[in-house]
Structure 1
Amino acid sequence: MTDRHVVLRAIEKALAEVLEREVTELSEDTGLFDDLRLDSSSVLELLLLVEDGTGAVVDPEQLDIDHLRTVRSFADYVAGLPAEGEVGP
């Protein structure tokens, strides 16, 4: 499992890169689709960047749209993932 604070920092950094701008006023309630207007290709880029930034390994078979609704739901999902080299639950 990955420290949640590390995950939140990785998400913020990844969003700035994906959106090609500084993300201001980002909160855990910020909607990835509704507020930030991410699309499928930007979500894929976000996933890859967060994996790189945290060492977490996303299993596409376990990923659900509800994990991507808000910064909070995405951070909770990533924080619960095994890091690279760890054995999952």
Structure 2
Amino acid sequence: MNRQDVLLVIEKALGEVLERPVDGLTEETALFDELQLDSLSVLGLLMTVEEATGISVDPEQLDIDHLRTVRSFADYVEAALREGEGPS
């Protein structure tokens, strides 16, 4: 899954969780400040992205900094995907 695929998964997940289109999303979009995410919508976002990508989000490894912007969350998802591809 390349960067563009990850961004599309995040955009689709945000649209589902927020129950509205998230047009104009960029990597600089702030998840809390601009999109008004709250703890419940973050949980929905994580579950939707997990389902779409096959990653498993470990709450102990997830930091608020991973959820500041679309870019930071995409970086987190890409890192989780890479970990899943490596040897176990």
Alignment correspondent of 2:28: 29
Alignment correspondent of 1:15: 14
- Work out whether residues 13 and 48 of structure 2, in 8 Å CA contact, stay in contact via their aligned partners in 1: yes
Q: Which structure is richer in relative contact order (CA contacts within 8 A, separation 6 or more)? A: 1
Counterparts of 1:50-69 in structure 2, within 5 Å, are 50-69=49-68
Query: Where does structure 1 lack aligned partners over 5 or more consecutive residues?
Result: none
2:80 is paired with a residue of what secondary structure? coil
Provide TM-score, normalisation by structure 1. 0.88
| Superposed CA RMSD | 2.1
What amino acid is aligned across from residue 52 of structure 2 in structure 1?
A: G
Bigger helix share: 2
Alignment correspondent of 1:44: 43
Report how far residue 7 of structure 1 moved: 1.3
The count of aligned residue pairs is 88
- Work out whether residues 82 and 88 of structure 1, in 8 Å CA contact, stay in contact via their aligned partners in 2: no
Distance 1:73 1:88 in 2: 25
Query: Where does structure 2 lack aligned partners over 5 or more consecutive residues?
Result: none
Question: Do the aligned partners of residues 88 and 22 (structure 1) sit closer, same or farther apart at CA in structure 2, a change above 3 Å counting?
Answer: farther
Instruction: Tell me the percent identity.
Output: 65
- Work out whether residues 55 and 84 of structure 2, in 8 Å CA contact, stay in contact via their aligned partners in 1: no
Provide TM-score, normalisation by structure 2. 0.89
Distance 2:37 2:2 in 1: 25
